[in-house]
Chain A
Amino acid sequence: MNPDHHSSLNPSSSLKSRFTKTFLRSLIKINKQRPFPYCPREIFQRCHRVKTAADKSLARAAGSRRVWSRAMLCKIRNRSLRRGCQQRPSVRRIIIGYQTTKKGYCLQKKMSDDQEVGTDQASKLRKLVPGGEAMDLCSLLDEAAHYIKCLNTQVQVMRRIADIHSS
């Protein structure tokens, strides 16, 4: 569904194609960097790396115009900063601080909007959609729709890759 829609607009740069290319490249990189994992721990690490790569490539393919893609990239960056290097705490704090303040302010402002549809569900959705904490219900639904679309593409491509590898 996505490919068809996107291909009608621009076959060479559909979401699916962008994601596929980016993800395959990162997969190859991951496979090259580490030997094939045989112990569970390595598998788990690898799995995490693959997942991160998938999310990152999806966010990049989705573009930075979307709140969720930006939030996802920020999260990944923060994670890598937190995990990888402690040498840039200032950057990390700035990013985290910005996100928290934005989230807090927007949450306060938008709490009243949740009552209309159900606070629990809205808050659940906020947690699911990256960057959904700092959004009103309207844009949250918007972002959720786009996020679902991209997730579908991601799952589709990943499954295809897995099938190809397994078969």
Chain B
Amino acid sequence: MEMGDKDKFELEKRSDNHINYHSPDSMPSDWRYSSANVANSSLGLVSTDNQMPVCRGDLVGVSSCSSASMVDSFSPGQWDHPTNSQYLGFCDISVQNNASTSNPMGIRKGGPASLRTGLDKTLDIGWNPPSSMLKGGIFLPTAPGVLPQSLSQFPEDSAFIERAASGLKSLSVVQGQKNVMNMGDSSRDTSLSVEHVAIEGSPLKNEKKSGSLVRSHDEAKQGVGGSGNESEEAEFSGGGRQDKPSKLEGNGGEQSAKSPASKKRKRNGQDADLDQAKGTQQSVEAAKDNPEVQQKGDENPTSTPIKATGKQCKLGSQASDPPKEEYIHVRARRGQATNSHSLAERVRREKISERMKFLQDLVPGCSKVTGKAVMLDEIINYVQSLQRQVEFLSMKLATVNPRLDFNTEGLLAKDILHSRAVSSSTLAFSAEVPMVYPPFNASQPGFIQASFPGMESHSDMLRRAINSQLTPMTGGFKETTQLPNAWDDELHNVVQMGYVTCAPQDSQDINGSLPPGHMKAEL
């Protein structure tokens, strides 16, 4: 985690600068500033030791300590910078990143009125993204409540954030899904209470939430953060309780799933976030080694981390625009959700679009088509027409007077393989096909008529298919005939198929039913 180290250094510097906790009113500015810092740091984590999101002075100190320890718990191997600010900054940044990266899906939707303050807004914004981030496996442990205040105070935790991000990069597991939802709810709570709860809850819930985390997360988290959590808990609880014993207790109750729904959600979210943040950080290492739940996510993390870190470095200038920032979880591309589910889905979507492009090349006349639905329709029509062509040709071959024998088989094979005659005068078919259809049913050769009952349905379908295909393909025909493309034959075949299907009906002899002109065109 080279970037992490660098960020750590920056974090330390920043934390020194932002020692003072700003009042909640000033939080927005701080948060923005911190987000700016976060932007600067790839991780976006602003570790502000001093800027612990503590409305109360007590909490600041406690949070700083706890954050420090919490940071340790997050990634003991990676971050030697355990500072509350770091942690908070982490959360903050993550929130910011989430806000920027995640779609504005929930970003302001669920924002309760209470969060309309600067803090709240940031929390809201930052909160929703975290949910998306969590999905990507980057669960930001910071409970929404914690973030608002801490956010403003952690502008300097960029280093921490970077480290966390780098650590989380390898994390593709989606733990945040559940937590995110909780976090969203919790974000609605007041920041203060949330903060405390978050701080308190994270260490407390580390163990609890570990279960929700990816199995790798659990292993890593428990192994690593166990000690840290305990220490943090003690500190947090002490600090938190001092300021808002009622809330904290309520939060504590939440942990035990007894508190009111709102608080509970908040706390759960916070805890989950915190836990996940820690767990993810811890499990990042473990995740790297352990098979990820989402293998696709694994692929992404390896490739995107570098990309993400690079992008994070450029985020500094966009401090004022939190939603644009990436979260620590570098795996996700810039501006994209980092939930592991969404990552996997993104990979899948890319695969599908790549295949659609390939199909577009295969199916003639689809170069201009855009959109999966239309493309799929074209593909379906083309496959149907090809299958009907095969049917018709087999019928034709069945009625052909067999002049084959073993002697000529080899010659025929060579002839077929090497025949590349392609006529370019197939455009005439499009105009003639409709005219051919009417006589199709009218004149049917006697000896073939009996076989047509079986084929009439085919012919009808074929007619429809060909008609449906002709429209989009007429344009393509003209193009293809002008350019002897590889699929020119197919186009001709398709057109001729419809034409040939109808044409033989006019003549009595199916063998020689194809007009010479059409035959030439085929060839």
- Name A residues whose Cβ lies closer than 8 Å to a Cβ of B: 1-4, 16-17, 20-21, 24-25, 27-28, 31, 36-41, 43-44, 46-51, 54-55, 113, 116-118, 121-122, 124-125, 128-129, 137-138, 141-142, 144-145, 147-149, 151-152, 154-167
Contact = CB atoms under 8 A, between A and B. Distances in A.
A54 B376 contact: no
A43 B383 CA distance: 25
Q: Which of A43, A122, A145, A162 has the most CB of B within 10 A?
A: A162
A21 B406 CA distance: 11
A149 B260 CA distance: 62
Given A125-B376, A158-B393, A142 B355 contact: yes
Interface in B343-402: 348-349, 351-352, 355-356, 358-359, 362-363, 372-373, 376-377, 379-380, 382-384, 386-387, 389-391, 393-402
A148 B404 contact: no
Contacts of B454: 44
B403 A165 contact: yes
A144 B359 contact: yes
Interface stretch (B8-16, B47-55, B176-184, B511-519): B511-519
B344 to A, nearest CB: 12
Contacts, number: 193
Given A20-B413, A128-B387, A166-B519, A148 B363 contact: yes
Given A1-B486, A50-B394, 17 more contacts: A1-B485, A3-B420, A20-B413, A24-B404, A40-B451, A44-B450, A47-B451, A118-B376, A144-B383, A145-B359, A151-B383, A152-B490, A155-B393, A156-B493, A158-B390, A163-B522, A164-B415
A133 to B, nearest CB: 15
16 contacts: A4-B486, A21-B413, A27-B402, A31-B402, A47-B398, A51-B391, A117-B376, A118-B372, A138-B348, A138-B352, A141-B359, A144-B383, A148-B362, A151-B386, A159-B393, A166-B514
Contacts of B25: none
A51 B400 contact: no
A1 B379 contact: no
Closest 10 pairs (CB-CB, A-B): A40-B450, A1-B486, A31-B402, A51-B394, A141-B355, A46-B398, A47-B398, A121-B376, A158-B393, A165-B400
B437 interface: no
Given A20-B417, A21-B413, A43 B450 contact: yes
Contact of B450 (A1, A4, A41): A41
Interface size class of B (residues with CB under 8 A): 35 or more
A69 to B, nearest CB: 15
Contact of A1 (B358, B377, B447, B489): B489
Contacts of B372: 117-118
Contacts of B395: 43, 47, 50-51
Given A47-B394, A138-B351, A160 B416 contact: yes
A31 to B, nearest CB: 3
Contacts of A50: 394-395, 397-398
Contacts of A149: 362
Contacts of B399: 37, 43, 46-47
A158 B397 contact: yes
A123 B355 CA distance: 17
Contacts of A44: 450-451, 454
Nearest to B362: A148
B26 to A, nearest CB: 45
A3 B421 CA distance: 13
A24 B409 contact: yes
Contacts of B457: none
B461 interface: no
A151 B385 CA distance: 10
B450 to A, nearest CB: 2
A152 B386 contact: yes
Nearest to A160: B416
A51 B449 contact: no
B405 interface: yes
A12 B420 CA distance: 17
Interface in B466-523: 485-487, 489-490, 493, 496-497, 511-514, 519, 522-523
Contacts of B416: 20, 157, 160-161, 164
B394 to A, nearest CB: 4
Contact of A36 (B351, B358, B401, B486): B401
B149 to A, nearest CB: 40
Residue of A27, A55, A129 with most chain B CB atoms under a 10 A cut-off:
A27
A3 B355 CA distance: 22
A37 B349 CA distance: 52
A129 B355 CA distance: 15
B349 A116 contact: yes
B93 to A, nearest CB: 32
A32 B496 CA distance: 30
Given A16-B417, A40-B448, A166-B512, A145 B362 contact: yes
B417 A3 contact: yes
Contacts of A166: 396, 400, 511-514, 519
B390 A148 contact: no
Contacts of B382: 148
Given A37-B398, A50-B397, A152-B489, A17 B450 contact: no
Given A1-B486, A51-B390, A151-B386, A162 B450 contact: no
A167 B519 contact: yes
